[in-house]
Amino acid sequence: MESSEFKTIKNTDQPLPSRAADQISQLIIDRQLSAGDKLPNEFELAAYLHVGRGTVREAVKLLVARNVLEIRRGKGTFIAKHPGQIDDPLGFAYLKDQKKLGLDLLEVRIRLEPWVAGIAAAKADEKDLVILRENCSRVEEDIYGGVDHLENDRKYHISIAKCTHNLVVPKLIPIISYSVGLFGSLNGTSLLTETIIGHRAILTAIEAHDPDAASAAMKDHLEKNRSALLEI
């Protein structure tokens, strides 16, 4: 494949720690190491990669920065919980026009999330529903308690995505729900009430395994969010 040739060419230009980091990544993939597994120690890696321990240490730092590895003090180096997945992976924070970003994100969300809610209603099992109810209640508790609910709001949307049992959707939703945080200041009382009502309506439809109702409830919820944004 051209892309892997390209990688090889690029690699020879890269500093040694970057190359070692790529090789460690490949090792993780080849050995099917997953979240929480321990990485072989520095000595083994140095011997395996034919590099010095200093290079291994630099490579591990790079992979920590990329959220592939995590260091637990006194315990060793482990595969991260969601290896390779970082906050704001598309660099949204670096875009200049944050208002357009918010509206463009909502456009994508309105296309994607009603569909996701529909699949969630069709596929959610009892275990999924327990988590969904819990996350729905947490948002309500935050709002009633006068505490910022945005983190739990995002988690609620992610838990809906997880009901689909699709590998990709739960990874995409956290990225596009970046918009939730952008307009935190917007959360006046009316949008807070809508959040509670909207989230409950989505939950009820998913519990009833009614894809059309779930889809419609999600669409309605996101449209109301968009209206609120447009009113600024």
Under rule CB under 8 A, residue 93 binds a second copy: yes
Confirm or reject binding of residue 223 to a second copy (CB under 8 A).
no
Taking alpha carbons only, the member of 67, 80, 71, 76 closest to residue 41 is 76
Q: How far is CA 192 from CA 90, 99, 186, 206, 221, in A?
A: 28, 20, 9, 21, 11
Own/partner long-range contacts of 130-139 (Cβ < 8 Å, ≥24 apart)? 131/159, 131/162, 132/156, 132/159, 132/160, 132/163, 132/203, 132/206, 132/207, 133/203, 133/207, 135/159, 136/199, 136/200, 136/203, 139/195, 139/196, 139/199
- SS3 for 71? strand
Among positions 57, 171, 209, 226, the unique one binding a second copy when judged by CB under 8 A: 171
115 binds a second copy per the rule CB under 8 A: yes
8 Å CB contact between 205 and 117: yes
Establish if 150 lies at the interface with a second copy (CB under 8 A): yes
The interface mask with a second copy, positions 20-59, x = CB under 8 A, is -x---x--xx--x-x-------------------------
Region of 44-52, 144-152, 193-201, 203-211 interacting with a second copy (CB under 8 A)? 144-152
Nearer to a second copy, 108 or 130 (CB): 108
Measured from the CB atom, the residue of 86 and 130 that comes closer to a second copy is: 86
Q: To the nearest whole angstrom, how small is the minimum distance from the Cβ of residue 57 to a second copy?
A: 12
Q: Which of 27, 57, 61, 201 binds a second copy (CB under 8 A)?
A: 61
CB of 80 to a second copy, least distance (A): 9
Cα distances (Å, whole numbers) of residue 117 to 132, 169, 224: 12, 11, 16
Residues that bind a second copy (CB under 8 A): 1-3, 6, 21, 25, 28-29, 32, 34, 61-62, 65-68, 82-86, 88-97, 100-101, 104-105, 107-108, 111-112, 115, 147-148, 150-151, 166-169, 171-172, 175-176, 181, 184
